[in-house]
Structure 1
Amino acid sequence: MAHYWSEYPLAETDDQVPGELPAGRYVSVIPNGHGALTAWVAGPHRCFRRPYPASAHPPVKVTRGHPGKEPEEVWFEPFTEEDLRMVNDDVNSYLAEAGVRPQPRGFEWNVLVPESIRDGEDLERALRAKNNYIEPTEVLTAIRRLYESVVRQIPPSS
């Protein structure tokens, strides 16, 4: 069944899970095409969004020097609206190749996972470990299967 990103419940604070979602552990997906496909597969009944403007992102580490050597100089710069736009454009390009609607900019996406998954990096590793596909449409199919197997590890609520 088709759905829209606007149907995903919205949480206003970091410690809030919208009441219409099942109780459990939620982690933020990695902000890339793979993470966006995971949020899409989870759907609005197992995923919520939280505002995450550019101003809330941590600073970006910048290095200067030869790639094969120790950096000559390291500094941090603020994450800007332009950075947010570029990340979102990359994600949406990937989603388009998979046949998925564009994701709105400025949100963090949180999906339901079992207790064994600590964070988005853990989830990413769990899904990529058995997903060797390159084409976004194949990746989407694999994530559907893999995310369902991850969610089946969640004990039924009593």
Structure 2
Amino acid sequence: MTDVYDKEKRSAVMARVRSKDTSPERAVRRILTALGARYRLHRKDLPGSPDLVMPGRRLAFFVHGCFWHGHDCARGARVPKANRDYWLAKVARNKARDARVAEALRTEGWTVETIWECELKDENALRARLGEVLERFPKRG
């Protein structure tokens, strides 16, 4: 099956896909703020530039889109019909990079938490999960 857009239109559509300040990321920030957590955004000095960082707790959060990072939910398992080989390779590269970044952060003494886009469907469960994470890793010093 061919793409419904021509190359220029597809390029414009893909260029609008953001990597920072996405709706899922803003929703996670809203929950953490409501829980009283303080955080920093997109620390470029850390491997992978985590979406949210709590330096006092040594916590790094990544908010991943299920499709882009190959989550095992229905949305993450979906593969476009057009250019299938490209997308399979792209998601595999993203997953490999995510694993490398998480390991590099752990080596530096950080705890890595991944929040999947699909988890936002049940905001109460996500709020409970984030509350437990904050309790497990109290602020140091």
TM norm. shorter chain > 0.5: no
Which structure carries more helix by proportion? 2
Per chain length, whose mean CA-contact separation is higher, i.e. which structure has more relative contact order (CA < 8 Å, sep 6+)? Answer: 1
Between structures 1 and 2, the one with greater strand share: 1
Q: What TM-score results when the alignment is normalised by the length of structure 2? A: 0.31
TM-score (norm 1): 0.28
